[in-house]
Amino acid sequence: MTVIFDLDGTLIDSAPDIQAAANTVLSEAGARPIDLAEARSFIGEGAPVFVSRMMTATGLGDDPALHAALLERFLSLYDTAVVLTRPFPGVAEALEALRSRGWRLGICTNKPAGLARAVLAHLGLAPFFDVVVGGDSLPERKPHPAPLLQTMKSLSATRCLYVGDSEIDAACAHAARLPFAIFTEGYRKTPVESLPHDYRFSDFAALPDIAEVALRAAAE
C-alpha cells in the first residue's frame, strides 16, 4: 500500500515564510500586513487564491490587473521562501518508519511542484518521496480528485491512504473515494468532526500504526 501526503500544514509548517512573502508584497502595495493567523487561514487552494484572499482582507479589492501583478511578485518571493519553514514534530521519524516497513510515499499538494520539491530538498525530506504532484502538474487542483488519482497512478498504487490537514484535503480524498487520515494540528479552519475522515492524529508517532490499520481495512 501507499501513503500520499499533502504538504503545507500536514508535513511542514510553511506559514511563517508565506506570511513574510505576503507582507513584503503588501508593503510594496501600500497595504497593511497580515498576521500569522490570517496567513494560515488563506493557505490551501494555491497561490492565486491566497493572493485573492490577501487582497480582500487588506482592502486591495479584486482588480484582475492588480491581482496579476501582486501574484507575480508574491511568486517571485515564494519560490525561495524556505528560511522559516520547518517540518512538524515527528515527521521525519514517521516517514522513516513507514519506509522501513516497505511503504511507498508520495506528495499531492496545491503548492507548485518545483517549489514543493525545493522545500522537501531543503528540509532533507526529498529522499522519502517517489512522486510529487503539485498544483501546476495538472489543469485541476485539489479538491478535484484528479491530482490525487494521478499521484496514485504515478506510484502504480492500487490502494492508498491520503494524509492531509484541511477541508480541501478531506474533500479531495472523499471525491477520490480514498481513506483519509487528518492531521489535526495543521491549517484546518473547521471542526474535525465536520470533515469526512477515517482516521485522525495529532502526533506523527501514531501515523505508521494508522497506516497499518488502513492497510488491513482495505484488504477486507
pTM: 0.91
Domain ranges of the chain: 2-13+85-219, 15-78
The set of cell numbers assigned to 86 is: 520547518
Residue 6 falls in the annotated catalytic set: yes
Fold of 15-78: DNA polymerase; domain 1 (1.10.150)
Catalytic residue among 6, 13, 17, 165: 6
- Rounded distance, CA 44 to CA 7, Å? 10
Helix (H) or strand (E) holding 164: strand 160-164
Question: Residue 119: its pLDDT value, please?
Answer: 94
φ, ψ of residue 45 in degrees (nearest 5) = -120, 20
Question: Residue 190: its pLDDT value, please?
Answer: 93
Q: Classify residue 59 as exposed, middle or buried by CB count within 10 Å of its CB (0-12, 13-18, 19+).
A: exposed
- Rounded distance, CA 215 to CA 76, Å? 41
Question: Residue 79: its pLDDT value, please?
Answer: 79
Contact 15, 36 (CB under 8 A): yes
Q: Which residues pair with 8 in a beta bridge?
A: 12
Question: Residue 216: its pLDDT value, please?
Answer: 87
The set of cell numbers assigned to 108 is: 499531492
pLDDT in tens, the chain (220 residues): 899 999 999 999 999 999 999 999 999 999 999 999 999 999 988 899 999 999 999 999 999 999 999 999 999 998 788 889 999 999 999 999 999 999 999 999 999 899 899 999 999 999 999 999 999 999 999 999 999 999 999 999 999 999 999 999 999 999 999 999 999 999 999 999 999 999 999 999 999 999 999 988 887 7
- Rounded distance, CA 1 to CA 216, Å? 10
The set of cell numbers assigned to 43 is: 493557505
159-218 confidence digits (pLDDT tens): 999 999 999 999 999 999 999 999 999 999 999 999 999 999 999 999 999 999 998 888
**CATH, domain 2-13+85-219, list 3.30.420.40, 3.30.590.10, 2.40.160.20, 3.40.50.1000:** 3.40.50.1000
Contact 109, 6 (CB under 8 A): yes
